[in-house]
Structure formats: C-alpha cells, structure tokens
Structure 1
C-alpha cells in the first residue's frame, strides 16, 4: 500500500527510562493539530473515515491497537504497540482502529486543523472518491 509508512521516532534511553523526540525532519509535515484517544473500550472501534488532503501519524504511546487500512485496492492491518513507531497515513486511505488493549492511548499528529470538508465518512463515498 503506497500511502502509508511506518516511521521510526528517535529514542534515547538510559537508566532513567526512554525519551522519544519528534522534531525537525522526523515527520514529513508541519504539525497543525495534535489529539489523542484513550479509555477506548476493547470492543469499540474508532476512525471509520478517510482524508482528502490531511496527513496523520498515529502512535501507540501506551498499550496497543490495530489499524485496518484500505486504499480500495488493498486492505492491510497494522498493530501499533511501540511508542517510538509512528504510522504515517497519507490521503485517500480508509482507516479503522480496533482491538484496543487496556490502558492504551493513541496519539495523532495531523497536518491540518479540523476541517469537516476534508473527511470522507461514508465508505461508499470513499470508493467513489478514490476511483475517479
């Protein structure tokens, strides 16, 4: 799948613990919005949308969860469970998040502020949009 990539986030560790740093060229866009998901019940799911223009990086800063990705031609599931690995999701990729472990938290770094018109929230509309 061409519109996703795993990104290594620089990690520094010593006897006091680990420190992960996101700055400069760590990610391929300027961060305009940061949000996080937490206390998601294990049998719930999040996402269920795609973006027309916005890029996002998802990071499991605690626990784990699955990200189901679909670009209309290929479907892939990625388990995020390391706080120094980010999943870059570019445009035109349907995403769903599920199977949240107890205590998990998902940090999202976005390339744009919230704009409802950038979201595709209906899967059939998504298929029409990407198959233009």
Structure 2
C-alpha cells in the first residue's frame, strides 16, 4: 500500500446554476456507505487536527469553505494534499496516518466516515501506527 495509490481525490458532481452551485454525494460517489458525518470549523490559526489513523474506517474529507492541508503517511511515504474546492473530496482508506494543518480563516472541513465512532478503531500514537503497519 502506498500513499500515492490508495489515497485519492474524488470529484463530487457539481450542478451549476445562475442561482449558485450544488454538489451531491450519493451512494455511487464514494466507495462506502457513510455512517457518520461531522465537520471541523473555527479552527484557530496555527492549530492542527487529526494526528491519527484508523484500523478499519474510511473517510472522505471535503473543504466546504476555505482551505487546509492534509499530511498523509502510510508508514513508508508521506504526501501533502491541499483541499480548497467544495466539489473535490479526499478519500482516505484505513491504515493511513493523517494530520490536518494550515487552516485558512473561515475554513470548514466536512468528514464522511464509513463507521460510527469507535475509539478502538483509532491509532493515536505514531509509534503504535508504525507497529500496526509492520
């Protein structure tokens, strides 16, 4: 598994209209059924979020407003992805360490998760993550 092949950007369908754009995430947009939706907002300047991996859960991250960087690590390689368009999502499969940083003022990060919250699915220590990947 490499960061470059398993993590991918997904274009979310966009319907353009003179009254404004509308994007829709339906069953065939992402490779999992979303069982949890949450969003990050009012992130103070210089703050970081994430700092974990999931054993099983997959996630789709979308910058609904503003921008932020997602630093991804598969245990061997690191990749940075900047999200700044509300019709582009970042699919993060299980077993990928992620850190979110460089939030612009007013940014909103939407997360669609494949599972409900389960603390046992989180790997919150990077050394434990490295052991999980070995």
- The TM-score bracket by the shorter chain reads over 0.9
Match among 41, 44, 47 for residue 41 of structure 1: 44
Conserved? CA contact 1:42–1:98, under 8 Å: no
Partner of residue 95, structure 1: 98
Task: Give the aligned length.
Answer: 131
Instruction: Flag structure 2 segments of 5+ consecutive residues without an equivalent.
Output: none
> Where is the strand percentage greater, Structure 1 or Structure 2?
1
* 1:102-117 equivalence runs, <5 A: 102-117=105-120
The RMSD of aligned alpha carbons is 0.6
Partner of residue 62, structure 2: 59
Partner of residue 11, structure 2: 8
Conserved? CA contact 1:56–1:89, under 8 Å: yes
Instruction: Flag structure 1 segments of 5+ consecutive residues without an equivalent.
Output: none
How far the C-alpha of 1:16 sits from its partner, in A, is: 0.3
Match among 71, 81, 84 for residue 81 of structure 1: 84
How far the C-alpha of 1:24 sits from its partner, in A, is: 2.2
How far the C-alpha of 1:128 sits from its partner, in A, is: 0.4
| TM-score for both structures, normalised by structure 1 | 0.98
C-alpha separation in 1, matches of 2:45 and 2:55: 29
How far the C-alpha of 1:69 sits from its partner, in A, is: 0.2
The secondary structure found in structure 2 opposite 1:16 is coil
| TM-score for both structures, normalised by structure 2 | 0.96
